[in-house]
Structures are given as structure tokens and as C-alpha cells.
Structure 1
């Protein structure tokens, strides 16, 4: 029987981006509109909250310690001593950071979107630790969940308004060969954040769907986990064995948020995740 637990009872406006940090043995997640980076240690229950000066779409561990932050005006680096510096600053009025993910080669793939969600107003960009930036040429509205197959040869990506989970061929030169892995049907919500497990299956959180779905590598829906929060935003495996599925949720835009909207949820022993690389910068 599938069961969820409340890892952190919180009132995040827009919880997003859960990421397991194996070096610290803790989960990172953000409240985008609340401008907060959260950590949670499931072994001790210890939590920390750091406030940022801008809306923060994602926070990921760095190989040398500290964090890389996808912020409203670009991507920044937070050193272990809390020193902040910009890796790539590119402010665009009306645009903010959204989800981001670290590729097997240690690069960061960062999404953006306009606050008004204007079609084509977002981007999907790859940033190296040296600050080199490559931006995908295809139009993006809400650059969202991104993940890679176990062998790193496929990249999955969500542009939420399309209702699709797309898949690309991926190598050191970038991405190409875009095609559709799965389409979320009308009435089931919109695809948001995603993660890939050790079997190569893609887990997708459904905004306005109150669920996480798992799709096989050939696009077949083989599992649905209903959750007590309609705006599920992203998911990631964590814990010492990468078997627990952590799920972020949001209160933003809900006329009557439920008691767990904005909390961090967890489904113990949901599957087997892949180790997530740290940002090489």
C-alpha cells in the first residue's frame, strides 16, 4: 500500500526543487516566491532556512562545497563561508528563474519563465562551472523539470503548458532529436518537476493534479501516487539508500489551500533513485 508522510510541515508559497545532498546527508528544497532555501536532515529532523535576496528557482550542491542558485537575475554561487558571487547574471524584466538540474557531466541546466507565463518567454540554458552558457534554441514558456537516463544518453524535460514530457538525445555537444515521451491528459494537471530512477523510469509531479506519476522509458504509465496537496511541484529520491521519494508542494494560487499545501512530503521505499551529481563549479 502506498503511503505518504509529512517530512516538513510548512506553508511554502511555491515549494520546488527537492535535491538529495549525499555529502551532507540532507535534502535541499526551495520556496521560490518565499525566497527561501530549506534543508532537512531526515536522520535528526534538523532543519535550516536561508533567505535569498531574489526569487530562487533551485539550489543544488557544488562539488567544492556550497550551493549553486538559480535566481531571478541569473545563476549565482554561494561559497561554504556564505560568500555570494554571480556565475552568470542576465536580468530580464518580468522574467524569473524556475527549476534546474545538474547533468552527469556536472553542468547546470537552468529553466526560466515570465511571471505572466507569456508563451515563449522562458529559456532552458546549460551553464558550466567556468560560466560558459549555451541556451537551447527551441521556444520555452515554463522551463521546468529536467533529468537524465541512467547512462546519461537521454535528457527529459518539461515545458509545463505543453502538457508533455519530452525526451532528447544528450551528449557533450548538447541535445537534439526532441520527441514526446508522455502527454498528460486534460483534467489530470500539468507536468512540473521530475526525477529519473535507477530503472530509467521518469517520475513526474502534477501541478493541479495532486499526484506523482511514473512512466517507463517507453512512455507507459505504470504507477500513480495520489497526494493530499493539489499543487505537487517536484520530486526526488533521497535518504541513505535513495529509496524515499520526497515531494514539494505549493499554496500559490489556491483559494483554499489544504493543510498540507506548501509542505514537504515523503513516500518511504517508493523506488530506487540515481545518485545526483554536484555542480562542477
Structure 2
């Protein structure tokens, strides 16, 4: 195992709950969100230009759509933002006390969208698969904090995190379904809780550690082989971005910290960290 810093501050910010970095190859921009401030941020790593817009409500994830626009995992369901900024619901299902959390687009273009209760009560969250026509299937209905989701390079494995379990789990994945859930890696006591994840071109799994001040990389066999320490405790998610998908971008949060470090809520980058996979756009 190797430990290395190598990080830079890509976007100095004070996000309450920064999350969900996603590379949009069509626009050449990094997308990321501030869940509790209902904000969608963009960052152009070439020009340094940044933008921010307000989402209709608390937002758990934002992803590009085929043909332009965005799909939003929101408090009361999943919505579509068209290229002309017109908003419409794809799936509207308000549940009192529940909000959206992380989401990911599968190799087939379907959105896997997670939810959780604001109080993080066990069993209050779900993981659902949504297609572009609005069809929804609840895949997991008994989770606490639905978080990182990603697929192996060949699409045959799906990795998933329910944060309080302190595990990264892995499923067999085929034809839009999953089976044979089993532990892939466990986070030891005192090292934080697994949050968002991404899978690289070598099949390694990178995971952000909430209250762990780090991002870890696990090999396809589940062996911990790299740790990237960060100067903030609440590390939320990571993704490869940039024109060649070699830079690892990392979001962080300051929510709940009585004396947050100066960089809490910023977006960090580790240049040349590895080689990412091009993430598919949502087919909807």
C-alpha cells in the first residue's frame, strides 16, 4: 500500500454538503452539487470558469443526459432539466422525511438513484433503477444511507455502499438486474465511513471516507493499495475527470463541523491519479 498527498485545491468553496463530482465530456466541465443548498456547480478545468445554479429542491446527484440537459436526483423524485432550462418530473414520489442521495448511470444508460431519510434511520432509504421512459424498479428497499454506486469496466459487477454498514458491497450485474450481494471491502473502525465511489479503467475501486480525511483505492480483489490523505474530515465523493480522465476530483463537506478547517467544502484534485472510465449519459 502507498500513501501520497499530491492533491491541489481545484475549487475553493464552502459547500455545506459538496457531493457527486461527474465529468460531462460534451461540455468539458465537471459537475458537482451542494445537497443542502440545492446548488448545481460546474467547473471548467481548462479555463477555470465556474458557474452555479439553484435546483428546485435538495439535490442528491446530477448527471448528463443523452442529447443534452441534466437528470437530477431530487428530494421528491427524479427530474429532467432540458437544454433550454425547462424542468419536468420524470418520477415524482414525495415521502415525508426522505431525500435523494447519490446516483449513478449504468452502462445501459439507466439511472440508479438512492434515497435516505434526513435522520438516517435504518431501513428508511432505497436504491431504484429508472429508465428514460420513467419506469421505476426498487432494487433495494431496506438501506439507511444509499451512497456510492459504480460498475466494473466490463459491466458485470456493480459496487454499492450503504454507509453505516462500513462496507463496499459487490453484486453480479446483468440485464439491468443484480444478484449475489457480498462484501468487497470493509472500512475498519476509526477510519471513517465509506461514501461516494468511482471505478477506474483497471477495475480498481476508489472510495471517499466521511470522517476519514482520505480517499482509498482498492484493487479488483479488494486489497487496499493506495491512500490519499486530505486536510478535511468529511470527504464525500470522487470521480475521474478532465479531457483525458486522469485527474481525480474529490468533493468535501463542512456540515455539522463546529470548527471546520479552512478548506472544508472545497473540491480537490489529484492530477494524474490514474485512468478513469468514461461514464455514460442517462438515456432519457
Task: Specify the TM-score bucket, using the shorter chain as the normaliser.
Answer: over 0.9
1:92 lines up with 2:95 in the alignment: yes
Separation in 2, partners of 1:130, 1:116: 32
Separation in 2, partners of 1:181, 1:89: 33
Indicate which of 8, 13, 27 corresponds to 1:10.
Answer: 13
TM-aligned CA deviation for residue 138 of structure 1: 4.9
- 2:61–2:74 Cα contact (<8 Å) kept: yes
TM-aligned CA deviation for residue 250 of structure 1: 0.1
Runs of 4+ in 1 over 2 A off after TM superposition: none
Indicate which of 167, 177, 180 corresponds to 1:177.
Answer: 180
Unaligned runs of 5+ in 2: none
TM-aligned CA deviation for residue 172 of structure 1: 1.0
Separation in 1, partners of 2:156, 2:248: 24
TM-score by length of 2: 0.98
Separation in 2, partners of 1:106, 1:32: 23
1:257 lines up with 2:283 in the alignment: no
Comparing 26-35 with 169-178, which one deviates more in the overlay? 169-178
1:203 lines up with 2:190 in the alignment: no
Counting only pairs closer than 5 Å after superposition, residues 14-93 of structure 1 correspond to structure 2 as 14-93=17-96
Separation in 2, partners of 1:265, 1:150: 25
Counting only pairs closer than 5 Å after superposition, residues 74-153 of structure 1 correspond to structure 2 as 74-153=77-156
Partner of 1:240: 243
Separation in 2, partners of 1:187, 1:153: 32
Separation in 2, partners of 1:229, 1:91: 33
- 2:105–2:279 Cα contact (<8 Å) kept: yes
TM-aligned CA deviation for residue 194 of structure 1: 0.2
Separation in 2, partners of 1:12, 1:218: 34
Question: Once the two structures are superposed, what CA deviation does each residue of 1:144-197 show, in whole Å capped at 9, x if it has no partner?
Answer: 000000000000000000000000000114111000000000000000000000
Question: Once the two structures are superposed, what CA deviation does each residue of 1:102-131 show, in whole Å capped at 9, x if it has no partner?
Answer: 000000000000000000000000000111
TM-score by length of 1: 0.99
Unaligned runs of 5+ in 1: none
1:188 lines up with 2:191 in the alignment: yes
Partner of 2:219: 216
- 2:125–2:141 Cα contact (<8 Å) kept: no
TM-aligned CA deviation for residue 137 of structure 1: 3.8
TM-aligned CA deviation for residue 220 of structure 1: 0.3
Would you say how many aligned residue pairs link Structure 1 and Structure 2? 281
- 2:147–2:163 Cα contact (<8 Å) kept: yes
